[in-house]
Structure 1
Amino acid sequence: MILSQVDTVQDISKEDFLKKYFIPQRPVLIKGYARKWKDFDKWNLDYIYSQVGEQEVGLYDNKPADPNKATNEPVTHMRFKDYITLIKKQPSDYRIFFYIITDHLPELLKNFSYPDLGFKYFKRIPTLFFGGSEARVLMHYDVDLGDLLHFQFEGKKRVLLFPPDQSAFLYKVPLSVHTVYNIDYENPDYQEFPALQYAQGYEIFMEHGDALFMPSGYWHFNRYLEAGFSVTLRSFPSGPKRLLKMLNEVFIIRYTDKIMRKIWKKKWVQRKQEKAYQKSQEALKEYLK
């Protein structure tokens, strides 16, 4: 992988953000951006613990999804408080995925404000993500194709970002929003995945209060280096082409894959993995001509 440093700023105006990053669709890290929030001191695991009551949450781990089950099915469930206690106490790869604040913890909506950066937020689904110090998230892009403003809290996190035009080198799985399961992005094997060494992207290390702008369709891999959590604010898909692509991803490609996975199970997953490898090998040959 060819990894560059992402642009990093301490603050940014709406005009500069739109001109330099949003319109050209370039990522940027804004250090400590959440410190602008009036209740910034509440964005920690202790405060979340005090608010969740007796909620139970679904947990995911680092293992590939079971081909005999739905891809979004949790591996186990746990009381939210017990989960927070666990990840604070010891290393864990358990993580919480796509916890919608408006549905489960609306009180948190009072503790932040949507940054005025010139684009429209989809305010129905501000989401939380949690991870233990060994948790990682498979390389993927978001199916709704929104632009993302991703805030990190508590522990540090490593993020890899790749533009959509790098898909061919990342071993993208057909009819899916993720890459093949067996790539280790912390120690990539270029013998097994030779195209990956030509993928051009960014490496970012996030700390408490940092915000990362991830443009629509960007691939991202997240590795929690310490127990922590994040908040993602997303925009509506901008422009008719992106909207049509999003509808195709959500209602045609996604459900076609679900049906085929239900029918063929492990055979379907294996076939897609093989096809991903084949396509990236073809892209590599073309690139090296």
Structure 2
Amino acid sequence: MSVNLQDIPRRKNLTPEAFQKEFFRPQKPVVLEGLMANWPAYSKWNLDYMRRVAGDKDVPLYDDRPVQHEDGFNEPHARMKMADYIDLLKRGPTRYRIFLWNILKEVPDLQKDFDFPELGIKLMKGLPMLFFGGEDSYTFMHYDIDLANIFHFHFDGEKECILFPQTENRLLYKIPHSLITHESIDFSNPDYRLWPALKHVNGYKTSLNHGDAVYIPEGYWHYMRYITPGISMSLRGIPRNPRNLCKAIYNIAVMRYFDNAMRRLKGQKWIDWKNEQAISKTDRYLREFYRKSA
């Protein structure tokens, strides 16, 4: 397991008042057990059910290949019918994942299977998103473009989750003008010879099983790895911190368009430069970190 990671606390029957006091206001993650025990989705949602209700849908697929300059923002690497994709998941390990699949747009009836938790956060009811992954598939360490408060619900399998707050940015080999860290890092088992700054980063970890929900505070970095094939759903609320809200607006209105323009203008040189900057900036900060610690 990775560096300096403490277990995310797990709580059952958490009241809105306790959630606000212990986790939301201090912006700390928590695994909420039993939050969806009364949902129809708790007993219904598995790969076979999704194949039955959405098998004819054309779905976008993503894998863990490094970013290339010709890739658009969140452009899929492949597409296939949901039924064929679920068959692929069941045959064995695959790197292909589905992410940010809008339930309301694709299969509106699925909304009847879940509720929006009453924990004192106003959630965006038009943006429930589904995620699917095969055994050992994973997301790069990233944070969401809108820096949302996220409730991430997991179904039908086991999933590893690693989180870092934004305070750890300078130790994470963050790619400039992007939402990811250097893609060569394996956060499940990092090589400290190549990534020495990670020895000093502090974060959180947990395993999510069917029925678990993790609260991911606004702007937190997250890495997800599917131990087994599975399904997840995220419900999100806008950031409350004014600084994070301004950063979200910048990311959506400026950053992503600037990055795409530079890809078109400079091609792969832009991607290579960003990867080099992630290492050089972190190395400079690490030298200063060691100097101050001496």
- Cα deviation for residue 10 of structure 1 reads 2.1
The one-letter code matched in structure 2 to 1:264 is K
The residue aligned with 2:66 is 64
The one-letter code matched in structure 1 to 2:129 is T
Distance 2:71 2:6 in 1: 37
The residue aligned with 1:142 is 144
Look up the SS of the partner of 2:239 in the other structure.
coil
The residue aligned with 1:127 is 129
- Cα deviation for residue 9 of structure 1 reads 1.1
List aligned pairs for 1:1-289, cutoff 5 A: 1-289=3-291
Look up the SS of the partner of 1:138 in the other structure.
coil
- Cα deviation for residue 262 of structure 1 reads 1.5
Look up the SS of the partner of 1:35 in the other structure.
coil
Look up the SS of the partner of 1:168 in the other structure.
helix
The one-letter code matched in structure 1 to 2:20 is L
Runs of 4+ aligned structure 1 residues displaced above 6 Å come to none
Look up the SS of the partner of 2:244 in the other structure.
helix
Distance 2:270 2:247 in 1: 24
**Contact 2:161/2:208 (8 A) holds in 1:** yes
- Cα deviation for residue 182 of structure 1 reads 0.7
**Contact 1:6/1:202 (8 A) holds in 2:** yes
Distance 1:102 1:93 in 2: 26
Look up the SS of the partner of 2:179 in the other structure.
coil
Q: Which moved more, 1:3-12 or 1:236-245?
A: 236-245
> What percentage of residue pairs aligned between the two structures are identical?
40
Q: 1:6 to 1:239 in 2, by over 3 A?
A: closer
**Contact 1:190/1:197 (8 A) holds in 2:** yes
Look up the SS of the partner of 1:181 in the other structure.
coil
**Contact 1:65/1:71 (8 A) holds in 2:** no
Alignment TM-score, normalising by the size of structure 2: 0.95
Distance 1:58 1:118 in 2: 33
- Cα deviation for residue 288 of structure 1 reads 1.5
Distance 1:214 1:203 in 2: 11
Distance 2:165 2:20 in 1: 18
Distance 1:244 1:184 in 2: 31
- Cα deviation for residue 32 of structure 1 reads 3.4
Look up the SS of the partner of 2:255 in the other structure.
helix
Distance 1:239 1:195 in 2: 28
Distance 1:53 1:133 in 2: 20
Distance 1:96 1:207 in 2: 18
Look up the SS of the partner of 2:140 in the other structure.
strand
Q: Which moved more, 1:51-60 or 1:263-272?
A: 51-60
Distance 1:212 1:187 in 2: 22
- Cα deviation for residue 38 of structure 1 reads 4.2
Distance 2:37 2:267 in 1: 46
The one-letter code matched in structure 1 to 2:131 is F
Structure 1 unmatched ranges of 5 or more? none
Distance 1:164 1:109 in 2: 32
* Aligned residue-pair number: 289
The one-letter code matched in structure 2 to 1:163 is P
Alpha-carbon RMSD = 1.2
Alignment TM-score, normalising by the size of structure 1: 0.97
Distance 2:243 2:170 in 1: 21
Distance 1:239 1:140 in 2: 19
- Cα deviation for residue 236 of structure 1 reads 1.7
